[in-house]
Amino acid sequence: MFKKFTSQLSLLSSISLNEMESVALLNRMDSKYTLKGQDLLKILPCLIENYKVLEINGVRVFSYENNYFDTPDLQFFRDHHNGYVNRIKVRSRRYVESDLCFFEIKKKEKVDRTNKHREELTCMISDIDSNRKSVIQDYTRKDIGEVNLILKNNFSRVTLVNHHFTERVTIDMNLHFIDNQNDIKFGKIAIIEVKQSKSTHTSPITNSLKQYHIRSQGISKYIYGVISLHPTVKKNNFMPIIRTIHKLQQ
């Protein structure tokens, strides 16, 4: 599904990891787009003209592994479903090619603004110790009690930066969600996330997506993973994007 698109990434200029660090954007504005994998080819001319692609040791498509954590009653998920401000996502992440691991908390502070806590790890973790639980407690400002591993998520990612180094774009493909009972793959859709220090209407990629009637209507991989692996969970507020994703996956 994605081979034709990824093979064309050689047409983009490259950027190194050191250069990429200047566009970390840990406090940022986010917008997400979900689209058919084949539609990535439509926006390829825009990417070639306006963006550089991250390249490490000749590799431009990278593998990621995530462990997502939540309370037994899915408090973090429910906060997202109910649209609460100051909601969080908690995960450990492994960058497969470099074997770098991090513990991360992503906090949605306003409608589109995200603040991220990031701690480097020596290895991927599947449990939350008391110190990290305290950090989570500080971020969520709630009495959260127990926090457990809820699901695992693997995917492939392409990372782009605009020529002005003010915008970072990720394109996620080959989404795979796993828990103790289920193993679900979404091989026909891609998720694009545009990350900026402040919202702007001059983003080349968002303008290109709008040209093809692809509007910002995204939910996080964690949220869709919970919905996919736990079909009985309350999801009324997510139904419009769920229907869109199911249609794109057909």
Please give the Cα distance from 142 to 82 (Å, whole number): 15
208-236 tens-digit pLDDT: 999 999 988 767 899 999 999 998 999 99
- Model confidence pTM above 0.85: yes
Question: What gap in Å lies between CA 30 and CA 106, rounded to an integer?
Answer: 12
User: Could you tell me the domains of the chain?
Assistant: 3-249 (2.40.320.10)
Per the CB < 8 A criterion, the answer to whether 27 and 115 are in contact is: yes
Which tens digits make up the pLDDT trace of 56-106?
A: 999 999 999 999 999 999 999 999 999 888 899 999 999 999 999 999 999
Pair of tokens at residue 229: 């692996």
Cβ atoms of 134 and 142 within 8 Å: the answer is no
Beta-carbon contacts of residue 52 (< 8 Å; ≥ 6 apart): 12, 13, 14, 15, 160, 161, 162, 163
